Amino acid sequence: MGARKGFSRKYLGIPYAVFLAIFVILPLFVILYYAFTDGTGHFTIGNLTGFFTDPNTLGTLLYSLLIAFSTTALCLAISYPVAYILAMSNLKRKSVLVMLFVMPMWINFTLRITALKEILTVVEGNLAFHPFMNSIIGMTYDFLPFMILPIYNQISRLDRSLLEAAADLGAGSFDAFARVTLPLSMPGVASGVSMVFLPAMTNYVVLDMLYNSTYIMGSLIGSYFSAYDWHNGSMIALVLLAIIVIVTLATDAGEENDQKGGALI
Amino acid sequence: MNKKKIIQTLILVPALFLVYAPILILAVYSFTDATQIGMGASFSFDNYIYLFTTEELRSMILGTLALAVGSAILATILGTLGAMGAFYSGKKMRSAYTGINRIPVVNADVVTGFSLCILLVVVFGMSKESFFPLVAGHVTLCAPFVFLSVYPKLGQMDKSLYEAALDLGAPPMTALWKVVIPEILPGILSGFAMAVTLSLDDYFVATYTKPATFDTISTYVVNATRGSQTEVKTALWALSTIIFVVVLIIAFAGNRNKDAEKKIRKGAEVNA
């Protein structure tokens, strides 16, 4: 093909390759540079040691992890039964129901949190009394569709004959669920977790809007940004990137393991 | 109703209630003169009138829409070209494309916005007022999703179609335009739709890259919740209701379309 006027279809990717190099790769190097330099441009590990020795930033890291774990757990507890029922049932208007659960994704999240805030204010009176609980509720409300959708997709793809086989081999419906459906739905759970966990560590707007003044990792970036402190801000971004890599590798492993398990069956 | 149906209803209905109660209650109150939920109030269109007649709100909404459509068009062009380039490249290049494409997808938006701001504004010395950092940021946010939505369509299409077009004398560009693009069009369109919604939903990239005087819906709402202007607050209830209705209409239209397609496909299978 290349012989024809020297054109090859792979050259179509050049603009995007250049784009990715400038706007995706380059910023990562810039972050790395700023994280390990001081205001005068000299190399330093002070930002790194500063982060891990300052009780405030460490406290923020722990608080973010607590928020992220709690949000992920609550999202999962609501999403799994919903996704399972949607995927396994033969309800008449199934596609409409699925759409209703996914649709909030398309409504601006700040407007949805505004709505939630108004309701919580009516229920609780003063939001400031339950900052942690409100944050978890807000994040769950925000991220729920991102957990439901991948789990629903995964369970929908499940080969129903496996369940029939399990029943034929004498498994009760609970056994069939615990030993067939649940393990085979894990890739969906893993991808849902990866969609919820990180935003829960960083989406400080949800906390701000619900009057939780405690910092999470995202708020730290925001406050360093407002103070024009690119160096410490970059260090926080770097720590977040490390967490992102860990979570991504972990959830990828979850997805692959189960694909192998699935292939074995 | 059997037991299973009852359990299903007992889980799905409360879940749906939790998801929609805030939006629907706000929608009801948007048609009143109340300044707080739970207050007794009388019917009024004031919020809607305020929303559409206040210059600040109108330009904020139009600006957000223009930004979303503009960056989605750019993202769709780049992402589609990228997906084709990656698909027709060798194995190594392909995994480089998909690997790097994944970075903005898994990355936290705060990090994407912050790092782009440092690169473009601090290092390159660009002015945020030029809108370049903002548009670049939104294209970075959206293009990878277009790539992900187009790429599998290339795998699904019949590869010999392009070869056949070339053999019949079509220049490569014509063959791409008339044969490949129509085949992957569904992927391109759903990528575009995703890009628009991602841009509309974004807060973090915008807040780190936008010009000081420009607001998107997200940045405006967040600032408004810090302020105490009740007219603005209740006008945003109206905006939220309008967006909800628009999304509802688009979702149902899309769903109907899909159902119709499925029926046609089923029909075709039966006939075959």
pLDDT at A197 over 70: yes
pLDDT at A259 over 60: no
pLDDT at B253 over 70: yes
Determine the pLDDT at residue B8: 86
B88 and A30 within 8 Å at the Cβ level: the answer is no
Q: What's the average model confidence in pLDDT over B193-215?
A: 95
pLDDT at A264 over 70: no
| Minimum-distance CB partner of B243 among A89, A108, A117 | A108
Measure the CA–CA gap between A192 and A98, rounded to whole angstroms: 16
Q: What's the average model confidence in pLDDT over A184-194?
A: 92
Q: What's the average model confidence in pLDDT over A246-257?
A: 82
Q: Residue A132 domain-assigned? A: yes
Could you tell me if A152 and A83 are in contact, meaning their C-beta atoms sit under 8 angstroms apart? Answer: yes
Q: What's the average model confidence in pLDDT over A119-133?
A: 89
Report the amino acid identity of residue A181: T
Residues of A in contact with B90 (CB under 8 A): 10
| Minimum-distance CB partner of B239 among A28, A111, A248 | A111
Q: Is B242 on the interface with A (CB under 8 A)?
A: no
Q: How many domains does chain B have?
A: 1
> Residue B57's CB: how many other CB atoms inside 10 A?
22
pLDDT at A136 over 90: yes
pLDDT digits (tens, 9 = 90+) for B50-100: 999 999 999 999 999 999 999 999 999 999 999 999 999 999 999 999 999
Q: Residue B18 domain-assigned? A: no
Q: What's the average model confidence in pLDDT over B251-262?
A: 76
B240 and A119 within 8 Å at the Cβ level: the answer is no
When mean pLDDT is compared across A168-182, B188-202, B208-222, the lowest value belongs to: A168-182
Chain A stretch 70-89, residues whose beta carbon is closer than 8 A to a beta carbon of chain B: 78, 81-82, 85-86, 89
Q: Residue A26 domain-assigned? A: no
Q: Residue A79 domain-assigned? A: yes
- Smallest CA–CA distance, residue B43 to chain A, in Å, is 19
pLDDT digits (tens, 9 = 90+) for A17-74: 999 999 999 999 999 999 999 888 889 999 999 999 999 999 999 999 999 999 999 9
> What ipTM, to 2 d.p.?
0.89
Q: If you average pLDDT over every residue of chain B, what do you get?
A: 90
Helices first, then strands: H and E counts in chain B: 12, 0
Q: How confident is the model at residue A180 (pLDDT cuts 50, 70, 90)?
A: confident
Determine the pLDDT at residue A9: 87
b vs e for B190-210, b when ≥16 Cβ sit within 10 Å of the residue's Cβ?
bbbbbbbbbbbbbbbbbbbbb
When mean pLDDT is compared across A22-26, B41-45, B165-169, the lowest value belongs to: B41-45
Q: Residue A107 domain-assigned? A: yes
Q: Residue B208 domain-assigned? A: yes
Determine the pLDDT at residue A261: 45
pLDDT at A162 over 90: no
A111 and B259 within 8 Å at the Cβ level: the answer is no
Domain at A169, CATH number: 1.10.3720.10
Q: Is B100 on the interface with A (CB under 8 A)?
A: yes
Does B268 or A118 have the greater pLDDT score? A118
Q: What's the average model confidence in pLDDT over A214-234?
A: 93
Among A253, A247, A141, A98, residue whose Cα is nearest residue A186: A253
Determine the pLDDT at residue B231: 83
Q: Residue A47 domain-assigned? A: no
Determine the pLDDT at residue A262: 42
Does B103 or A161 have the greater pLDDT score? B103
Measure the CA–CA gap between A64 and A88, rounded to whole angstroms: 35
Residues of B in contact with A208 (CB under 8 A): 222, 225-226
pLDDT at A96 over 60: yes
Chain A stretch 110-139, residues whose beta carbon is closer than 8 A to a beta carbon of chain B: 110-112, 114-119, 121-122
Q: Residue B5 domain-assigned? A: no
Does B132 or A263 have the greater pLDDT score? B132
Percent of chain A with pLDDT over 70: 94
Q: Residue B262 domain-assigned? A: no
Measure the CA–CA gap between B75 and B145, rounded to whole angstroms: 9
Residues of B in contact with A115 (CB under 8 A): 22-23, 25-26, 237, 240
Q: List, in sequence order, the alpha helices (H) in B118-180.
A: 132-156, 160-167, 172-175
Q: ∠B250-B254-B257 over CA atoms, to 5°?
A: 145
pLDDT at B185 over 80: yes
Q: How many domains does chain A have?
A: 1
Measure the CA–CA gap between A144 and B62, rounded to whole angstroms: 29
Q: Is A91 on the interface with B (CB under 8 A)?
A: yes
Q: Residue A3 domain-assigned? A: no
pLDDT at B258 over 80: no
Domain coverage including residue B151 = 48-240
| Minimum-distance CB partner of B78 among A16, A31, A34 | A16
Q: Residue A257 domain-assigned? A: yes
Which of B115, B135, B208, B220 has the most A C-beta neighbours within 10 Å, making it the best mutation to test the interface with A? B115
Domain coverage including residue A176 = 55-264
- Smallest CA–CA distance, residue B32 to chain A, in Å, is 15
Q: Is B165 on the interface with A (CB under 8 A)?
A: no
In a 3-state reduction of DSSP, which class is residue A43?
A: strand
Domain at B150, CATH number: 1.10.3720.10
When mean pLDDT is compared across A152-166, A199-213, B104-118, the lowest value belongs to: A152-166
Q: Say how many residues make up chain A.
A: 265
Determine the pLDDT at residue A265: 35
